[in-house]
Chain A
């Protein structure tokens, strides 16, 4: 920036606490307890993370079901150095992950060292934070499942 331009630091902060409602609240309760919940849609499929309504038909939803903490990466992209507000400490991949028992993917991080460790279709599982409060970041991130080489099912 040119030397003759005046500048000043400006920080915008909103200390929001949101009310959750029963569906989001149940999902976040599950995270605190170390389980993942989805919600069943009219066609029998499971939406995870759950919404109060079906995004296609607008039907109100309420049947919460437990899904697995393991799943499959359906797409991913690489995040270099973590950005200021991200709750991650090192390089990671963003991924759409469909958990076993769910039919829609959720967005979260896969904690691997490099893009070479990522592939679509790879199996992953949740690494839980030790201290959980009912927040999406109670999931510290996903990691490759067991000893699978990252590509197999």
Chain B
């Protein structure tokens, strides 16, 4: 296995970016991530991106966003209809193959032109579920009630997670939901999708991020403190909601074990937990103890840019380690309803 590191990162998230197209708000981020390590697009051995045309209703939007990289002369490129963390995973595999030493990864989502909670119904089973157009919040509400009534978590515990996210987000300029709120204030909120309250659900955002990966000494040349991806694993649960335990993300548990999360001390974890309930489940599945700071950025609750929120977890962890606020961290990304897919990595500073 080659040592592969994150070497630079740039992100932007706002509640909505109505006055810029995807490629318009992505180009500055792409330039920023490349400039930070002094590379141009032609220096990149491989480029991979993640996005979904359904968010803004723009067919083949990723093809036009490619222009933001400056693909002249033509570049080696791939795209995933998935969160950018899976683009990172593909780039990591490409780097492991050994024929390239650098990779450029980016992802983005502009959900504000549509209604994301409805658009997400299209990811459900097309025969039995999608025709009913289940609301994405209500679908998570089913998992939430199972968690609450099984005694796995309490409403107060969920409110504590929401309150902590807000407190952490207060110092994150990229967070959308930054207003602090006490546990009692959150418990006093009216239900939005009973049993979920507004603070239990993610603050939707438009935005994206860009990142440069490099292998071995090339990474050491590019930045002062490369953040090494020590291990990475991805697992997926069954699509059918009725056949998996919604109170325990089995795929996250296995991915965490395969990535060796528990093999050493974890300073902090950036978990792609769109809901407070997802965070509670993930902490348990990954075996994170009370000493682990969870989502010091505020996490996806504070800003959920669909298709980028997972990769942004990697970027947040990179920035924190790169500046010395921790040495070993867990970065996680999820996809699908109720934590169906889980990608877990262990990151370590040089």
Contacts and interface: CB of A to CB of B under 8 A. Distances in A.
B191 A106 contact: no
A41 B241 CA distance: 17
B128 A77 contact: no
Given A18-B127, A76-B142, A77-B144, A104 B242 contact: yes
Nearest to A74: B146
A94 B139 CA distance: 8
Contacts, number: 117
A105 interface: yes
Contact of A5 (B19, B126, B129, B134): B19
Contacts of A109: 132
Contacts of B134: 94, 107
A85 B243 contact: no
Interface stretch (B192-200, B253-261, B315-323): B192-200
B133 A83 contact: yes
Given A77-B138, A135-B131, A2 B19 contact: yes
A136 B190 CA distance: 32
Contact of A2 (B18, B128, B191, B196): B18
Interface of A: 1-2, 4-5, 7, 10, 12, 16, 18, 20, 24, 28, 47, 49, 51, 55-56, 74-80, 83-87, 94-96, 104-109, 115, 120, 135-137
Given A78-B194, A108-B132, 6 more contacts: A12-B54, A79-B193, A87-B131, A96-B242, A115-B194, A136-B127
23 contacts: A1-B16, A2-B18, A2-B19, A5-B19, A47-B243, A51-B240, A55-B239, A75-B146, A77-B140, A77-B141, A77-B196, A79-B135, A83-B115, A83-B133, A83-B135, A86-B132, A87-B132, A96-B241, A107-B139, A107-B242, A115-B194, A120-B149, A136-B131
